[in-house]
Amino acid sequence: MLRNVSILLVLAVSWALAKHVELPAPYKDHCILDDKTNLYDPSKSFDIPWFDVNLDLPPSERWKQVGAAYKTQINDLIGVLIDLITPVFPNALEFCDDVFGDMAPKLAQPYRDEIYSISEVTGIPLGRITMYNIFYEIFTVCTSIIAQDMDGHLTHARNLDFGLFMGWDANIHDWPISQKLRKMIINVNWVKDGKLLFKSNNFAGYVGIYNGLKPNAFSLTADDRFQLEGGYYGILKWLFGLEADGKWMSWLARETLEQKTTYLEAKEHLMNTPMLSPVYFILGGAKKDEGCIIARSLNGTAILSEMADSPHGWYLLETNYDQGTEALYLDDRDTPGIRCMDKLTQKNAGFQGIFNVLSSRTNLNKLTTYTVLMSVETARFETILQSCPGECYPW
């Protein structure tokens, strides 16, 4: 049985050869770590708007403000998706409306009613909103870092890279999907019983969670885990009624933030709940050494990597490969990330230092849409738009 097969990366090689793209060495030293080249500006976090999602309201009422504010952007993004797949599937629009529309009634609550309401308030057909809320399960490549400073204070951060193989535009040297997504990033205060329950950032109209922080409890990011039985496999099993218990990755992340109150409770839930797609959950806490990477298969945890046992001593770094395995040369974000973290040193392991590591190529690339920085201890949560201008690695 093949393990850790990345079909996406095989396609990447084919794409590069077909387009005769001269690719730079992915682990070339581009670390941004001195004061003269510091890129961290916390004021830029104010560029991302905040919305409240009130869990005390019925699901059909929770996303109306966001849906109304971003209906044009959501529709434009879905239009780009449809245009990209139409050459391969000439009836893509009808397929999306019919097949994903038929899927919608089978979705679990409260997500089903939330998706229905977003479709209603935006005027976008239900099948397209359903597709929009599912395709993130498949196409995300990322870098997540948990680091603790000399006093044991933890910073949890990640780059979200999205849009791979979705229509590289040779004229603008960028991925159109990533361009659209940068206009749709929002921060969310999740409110329950009239109080802040947790924070996240989302693409407008997307009800799942890739990054979240529960104050004084835990922080969470999710990176795709490339396996033969990947997101497509789980979706097909679910669609044909062969998988009743598995959860969507981003909905499990949200469920954990809603229901679990401690780092240990969250860890147990993320390790053992059946899923529809393999993933890396990167979990951070509020105390020294509270950090781990949970490499999930569909039915359990394949590998658990703890901060206390990290070979780096004071940080954990996860891209899209199992810890201790070698990344493919064309997708090596581990080597530059580790080199930059080692150059940063533990005494500089705060928001500024980690942001600059994540702003260094190739962890910063043409797919990168944003960096999020989190501290469970202080409840500090910052989302900063990212892009990689000029000569930059495509992924």
Catalytic residues: 142
The closest alpha carbon to 56, from 240, 197, 167, belongs to 197
Which of 259, 266, 112, 248 has the alpha carbon at shortest distance from 197? 259
Burial of 259 by CB count in 10 Å (0-12 exposed, 13-18 middle, 19+ buried)?
Answer: exposed
Among left, alpha and beta (phi > 0; psi -120 to 50; other), residue 163 is left
DSSP 267: H
For 85-153, give the secondary structure using H, E and C: HCCCCCCHHHHHHHHHHHHHHHCCCCHHHHHHHHHHHHCCCHHHHHHHCCHHHCCEEEEEEEEECCCCC
Pairing label, strands 50-54, 185-192: parallel
Tokens matching residue 163: 């849009």
Task: Map residue 9 onto helix, strand or coil.
Answer: helix
Other C-beta atoms lying within 10 Å of the C-beta of residue 1: 5
The torsion of the CA quartet 62, 137, 165, 89, rounded to 10 degrees, works out to -80
Burial class from Cβ neighbours inside 10 Å (0-12, 13-18, 19+) for residue 82 reads middle
- Half-sphere exposure of residue 141: CA atoms within 13 angstroms, side-chain side: 25
